[in-house]
Structure 1
Amino acid sequence: MSEPVTILVDADACPVKDEIYRVAERHGAHVRVVSNQVFRVPVSERVKRVTVSDAFDAADDWIAEHASPSTLVVTGDILLADRALKAGATVLAHTGKPFDAASIGSAIATRAIMADLRAGMDGPLGGTGGGPAPFRKEDRSRFLQALERELVRLSRAQAAER
């Protein structure tokens, strides 16, 4: 019998942890909340906190090492998304946007262009401003729909393997 789907959460900047816990419970999925700081997690056999060192990219490294075809990774980090995809994982941004083989290359290229632009500018997009757009109610709703869809898909795929 195969293991349940596991959701690996890049938790340090994740605004949808509570939603993940609720949906995972309904689907019987395991959750690993990975960060370099301590977060409160629900008391559950299925939800575990993984606190890594504060070394650069330690949480990303842990997630990438544990990503597999039976995992769903939730992250806003494009480079981590790429690593997880290469390990066969399903990857969602906290806005519900799926990362896949078709979209990750352009996302990485856009990230690099924006970094170059910010490095050469003063003002709101330069060194002191910018950042992601504010997280909205629509983003939360889109994430919940995407999480539900992907957990159903992964569960069916595992059932088909049995």
Structure 2
Amino acid sequence: MHIWVDADACPGVIKDMLFRVADRTQISVTLVANRYLRTPPSRFIKSIVVPAGFDVADKEIVKLAQAGDLVITADIPLAAEVVANGVAVLNPRGEMYTVDNIQQHLTMRNFMEELRGSGVETGGPAAFSQADGRAFARQLDRFVAQRKPTP
């Protein structure tokens, strides 16, 4: 199992949690971004810098993630693409995207994009909160516990 992070917009608190999980569980975590991101010294944590451009980091994650891996992203089109490939997806607010719910999320995202495109003010997502961080931590721990082999 490998954890891939769509890191350009990932909150710092989420990255910090992932760094701790990587060292504690010895699961590899890779940040993918279009700029250099500092990571703590660990053989389980690395970052990949991709060229700037539309969806370049997303395409790299799609290319590298394999069934059984986990992708951390709030990007619903990216989530839909990797879920179709058997990859689990967790957003930074603690919601798992699955084959059962991804189409609903994608439909809502597209609808909201259409509204914004027609000039309707839709507002943005709520600010990232401590409750979001706790929800993420719970889901991440649950996911890792279900997949980590026992010695």
TM-score interval (norm. to shorter): over 0.9
Out of 71, 74, 77, the position equivalent to 2:75 is 77
Distance 2:84 2:48 in 1: 22
1:32 lines up with 2:25 in the alignment: no
Contact 2:23 2:42 in 1 (8 A): no
Deviation sequence 1:121-162 (CA, Å, 0-9, x none): 25x43xxxx322100000000000100111111224xx6xxx
Contact 2:32 2:61 in 1 (8 A): yes
Q: What pairs with 1:73-152 in structure 2 (closer than 5 Å)?
A: 73-122=71-120, 124-125=121-122, 130-152=123-145
| Letter aligned with residue 143 of structure 1 | F
Q: What is the total number of aligned residue pairs between the two structures?
A: 148
Give the % identical residues. Answer: 36
| Letter aligned with residue 151 of structure 1 | V
Distance 1:153 1:47 in 2: 21
Q: SS where residue 95 of structure 1 aligns?
A: coil
- Name the TM-score, length of structure 2 as normaliser: 0.93
Contact 1:67 1:88 in 2 (8 A): no
Deviation sequence 1:60-82 (CA, Å, 0-9, x none): 00101111123110000000001
Cα deviation for residue 87 of structure 1 reads 1.6
Q: SS where residue 83 of structure 2 aligns?
A: helix
| Letter aligned with residue 6 of structure 2 | D
Structure 2: stretches of 5+ with no match in the other structure: none
Cα deviation for residue 89 of structure 1 reads 0.9
1:53 lines up with 2:51 in the alignment: yes
Distance 2:81 2:148 in 1: 22
**Stretch of structure 1 that moved more, 64-73 or 9-18:** 64-73
Q: SS where residue 8 of structure 2 aligns?
A: helix
Runs of 4+ in 1 over 2 A off after TM superposition: none
- Name the TM-score, length of structure 1 as normaliser: 0.87
Aligned equivalent of 1:12: 8
Cα deviation for residue 25 of structure 1 reads 1.5
Structure 1: stretches of 5+ with no match in the other structure: none
Aligned equivalent of 1:65: 63
Contact 1:35 1:50 in 2 (8 A): yes
Distance 2:103 2:55 in 1: 20
Distance 1:117 1:58 in 2: 26
C-alpha root-mean-square deviation of aligned residues, in Å? 1.2
Larger radius of gyration: 1
